Structure 1
Amino acid sequence: MVLAWYMDDSTTDQRLPHMSPGALVSMETVAALGVNHWKVNFESYETDGEFRKLREDEGYTYMDVIEISPKKLPSYDEKIKMFYEEHLHDDDEIRLIIGGTGYFDVRDKADRWIRIECSQGDMISLPTGIYHRFTTDSKNYVKAVRLFKGNPVWTPINRSEETDSHRARQNYIESFSLVGCT
């Protein structure tokens, strides 16, 4: 089951939960930000009819698998720092976790971090233009299926004054009634 919570202000190890006391967030609150979640049979996702239908319905035509760990990902330390930089994308980010546990952090309407814990069988979709970041938990391992519409694009657009006026960000703000939020 996916859990979400408001993060504390600690700057210690990003891989720790960083849960503020009493700060659980409902998945309805997360969904209001445009973040969707599904439970998928991670052991048979390649032949699962519901997973295939979801891919077809949403137009996800490209799929690959990434293993994020010191042993599997070249330049792991560099990459994990890059994934944790606050950024947005020109496309949705959709991941199915098939091994390990990771955290997707997203900004709420008040610009506070909400941490979403995803593990085996959790599929999450972050909408185009949402500020977010990612990290593994303290076990340093996540294996995920990445889905894309058309050719894969992995280009993060790191948050800055310029990204607040980026087309993808402005569309996100308008789509999810965040006018007045940056």
Structure 2
Amino acid sequence: MTPANRTLLGKLIVIAVAMFGFAYALNPFYRQICEALGLNVLTQKDGTVEFDKNTQVDKTRNVTIEFDGNAQGPWRFRPTQASMTVHPGELNTVMYEVVNMQPREMNAQAIPSYAPQNATPYFKKVECFCFKQQTLKASEARQMPVVFYIDPKLPRDVKTITLSYTFFEVGGGLVKTAAN
């Protein structure tokens, strides 16, 4: 190997390592930017919410929570109830139902969104199927809970919050046939 080729190889290795480091650093940087600006509900720390047992329930206020479910792909996905009225600080549970309409096992994930957007930081999920991917067998039906509370610091002008999930396949796959 000539000295020029060694120099070029060294430069290419440094560039490849720098590109890997840059790509590796982008994910936490992206999450922090989105969290700071409130642009992306995926960055809500759903999995780390701990329910404060000393939270005072505000019985003087009612907030209506509307539930919505959307499926991207071969699923039937919906909440088992359209809405509920809650008191801020009160622990509540709603069930979502999903049915895999395919003759094969599928992996899926649910992504939440909230309306109005300024209510997002006050909607605290203690347990949610959206924290991890779900694997459903062929034609399997499942009911999955969302355990939540509304932070009593929710602005008083917010009377209704909509919790919406989009349920979609992760990883994809082809149905195997005799031709495959």
More helix by share: 2
Q: Scaled by the length of structure 1, what TM-score is found?
A: 0.29
Q: Highest CA radius of gyration, 1 or 2?
A: 2
When normalised by structure 2's length, the TM-score is: 0.29
